[in-house]
Amino acid sequence: MALRFYNTLTQKVEEFAPADGRTVRMYTCGPTVWNFVHVGNLRTFTFQDLLRRWLRARGWALDHVMNLTDVDDRIIREAAAAGKSIYDYTGPYTQAFLDDAATLRLERPERLVKATDHIPEMVEAIRGLGEKGFTYESEGSIYFSVARFPDYGKLSHSDFGGMKAGARVDTDRYDKTDARDFALWKARKEGEHSWDSPIGAGRPGWHIECSVMSMKYLGETLDIHAGGVDLTFPHHENEIAQSEALTGKPFARFWLHSEHLMLGEEVMSKSLGNFYTLRDLIGMGYTPEAIRYLLASVPYRKQLNFTFDGLKAAATAIERLRNFEWRLKNEKFAGGDDQALAARAARALRKFDESLDDDLNTAQALAAVFEYVRDANTAMDAGVFGAANRDRALELVDRFDSVFDVLRPAAMLDHKTVAPGAGRVTITGYAPEVSISDHQTAISDQEIERLVAGRSAARQARDFKRADQIRAELAGRGVILEDTREGIRWKRK
Ligand code: AMP
Ligand code: ZN
């Protein structure tokens, strides 16, 4: 079976291939850099990372654009309250997002683009919409007239036919009950950041930035547009209205929406105040790998309830896989090839691939891996795991890790070197005032024990370089090792 995704637009699971048969042109809505992202936001970005990796595994090239919203209602409000320019205000949070993304091993999109770098293009698009008769002005602001776009509601599958013409909404975020004409350009207000332009002094609404930046880099019809489920309405509905009104062409072929990370009954959110940042969790001693695993383990269209038990279970699952990989690489197996086990490995690999092809069913893909690991461990313990079984088992482990990417311990990596494609990123000039490393110093006893065990294993395998790396890493985090006759002892500086 081919690769399939659930398309919010058609409400069907559909086979996916890029329109040109080669490169997936994909746009994902990035963060609003008004604060640190929380792990709810990161669930959505982790889903997009898995999506990238699986599209590539299926042989497609990628052109993925992610925007950074560095001007909107909240940013203007918070920057003014802090007495800073929007650039000074958003700079450190932008850097913090890039650091968090790298810590979670989220691959860098081919292009990361900032809204404030595209104001002239937005003005041009708003003018174009005006020329086609889709806009009107009121008190210096320019609005999109929803009544002029009969398809309005086709993504969120709502009938807005009875909407009162001319009723307007100025805020960037609102819900369906408040569906109205929305602001494309907001008139300058005293004390607020604004741009002078041929359509007057003001600033863009949130929605126009994504229409403009996606089509600028990817063309008029995208292969995939993705975001969290809360963006379906109004943000993505408005993006469709703006883009299709401008071009007369379908804006995106596939719309993928990921479900929320929940905290109990509530959606994790900044405005409700119920959230954890990545830095919070790392400060508590949880590893980036465990957090990544937890976020990836539930299929993206299902809600995921965040719990500390879930995080601990994720750490245990990773440990199990690391141990398995260690055995494969270090234990001596008798010659031969256990045929039944070889067939099981092939089946697990097939099931892993088929599960991810099935709208990225990560839970099923993981089940396939763990079922095999259980059988293989049993065979190893019973001495029937043949040397020739090792390669297939390693193939499965590698395939798993090319998508889930949790087997390398973060403590041994410089997080800034993790993301591939880093050299192609267009972001420049941000002072790294906020650095994740400030938050990585807290290390739990459990984490120390794990690293110490990893170092012993590396020494046993005569991998002294790795052993030294771990010692240096521990030293950097304030832990000193002593090799004694009774074994290794550690203490905090
Ligand atoms: P924002 O910075 O508010 O635009 O959000 C960035 C991304 O995070 C968007 O795609 C949101 O849909 C997504 N998001 C926000 N809250 C959650 C949550 N609790 N779970 C999953 N995704 C979320
Ligand atoms: Zn967007």
Please give the average per-residue pLDDT across 374-383, as a whole number: 95
Amino acid 485: pLDDT: 62
Say what the pLDDT of residue 162 is.
77
Residues with CB under 5 A from ligand 2 (ion): 29, 210
- What atom in ligand 1 is closest to the CA of residue 228? 12
Best mutation site among 229, 230, 300 for ligand 1 pocket (most ligand atoms within 8 Å of CB): 230
From 174, 176, 170, select the one nearest 157 (Cα to Cα): 176
Spell out which residues line ligand 1, taking CB within 6 angstroms. 29, 31-32, 40-41, 43-44, 227-228, 230-231, 260-261, 267-269
Is residue 407 scored above 60 in pLDDT? yes
Structure confidence at residue 335 as a pLDDT band (50, 70, 90): confident
Closest ligand 1 atom, residue 270 Cα: 16
Task: Kindly give the pairing relationship between strand 141-144 and strand 135-138.
Answer: antiparallel
Res 187 pLDDT > 70: yes
Most confident option among 3-17, 154-168, 259-273, 455-469: 3-17
Strand partners, 114: 68
**Distance from residue 159's CA to the centre of ligand 2 (Å):** 22
Mean pLDDT value across the chain: 90
Choose the weakest-confidence range: 169-173, 254-258, 338-342, 457-461. Answer: 457-461
Mean pLDDT of 151-175: 89
Nearest-atom number in ligand 1 for the CA of 33 is 2
Query: Of 36, 37, 44, 233, which is best to mutate to test ligand 1, by the most ligand atoms within 8 angstroms of its C-beta?
Result: 44
Nearest to 45 by CA among 232, 255, 251, 226: 226
pLDDT of residue 412: 53
Closest-CA residue to 29 (of 357, 258, 245): 258
Atom of ligand 1 lying closest to residue 32 CA: 2
pLDDT at residue 171 above 50? yes
Specify the pLDDT at position 424. 25
The protein residue with its alpha carbon nearest to ligand 1, atom 6, reads 31
Q: What is the DSSP string of 24-83?
A: EEEEE---BTTS--BHHHHHHHHHHHHHHHHHHHTT-EEEEEEEEB--SHHHHHHHHHHT
- The continuous run of DSSP H or E covering 215 comes out as helix 206-218
Within 13 Å, how many C-alpha atoms sit on residue 280's CB side? 10
Given a cut of 70, is residue 120 above it in pLDDT?
A: yes
Please report which ligand is nearest the Cα atom of 173: 1
- Name the residue with the closest Cα to ligand 1, atom 9: 228
- pLDDT average, residue stretch 378-407: 96
Whose C-alpha lies nearest to ligand 1, atom 23?
A: 41
Q: Which atom of ligand 1 is nearest to the CA of 304?
A: 20
Q: What is the band of 430 on the pLDDT scale with cuts at 50, 70, 90?
A: very low
Q: What is the mean pLDDT of residues 238-251?
A: 98
Query: Can you tell me the mean pLDDT for 420-431?
Result: 28
Residue with CA closest to ligand 1 atom 18 = 40
Write down the pLDDT at residue 181.
96
pLDDT at 441: 39
Q: What percent of the chain has pLDDT over 70?
A: 92
For residue 53, count other CB atoms closer than 10 A to its CB.
18
- When computed from its CA atoms, the radius of gyration of the chain, rounded to whole angstroms, is 25
pTM (two decimals): 0.85
Higher pLDDT, 337 or 431: 337
The pLDDT of 264-282, averaged and rounded, is 94
Q: What is the number of the ligand 1 atom nearest to the C-alpha of 262?
A: 19
Cα of 230 from ligand 1 centre, angstroms: 7
Q: Which of 86-90, 125-129, 143-147, 417-421 has the lowest mean pLDDT?
A: 417-421
Per-residue pLDDT band for 423 (boundaries 50, 70, 90) equals: very low
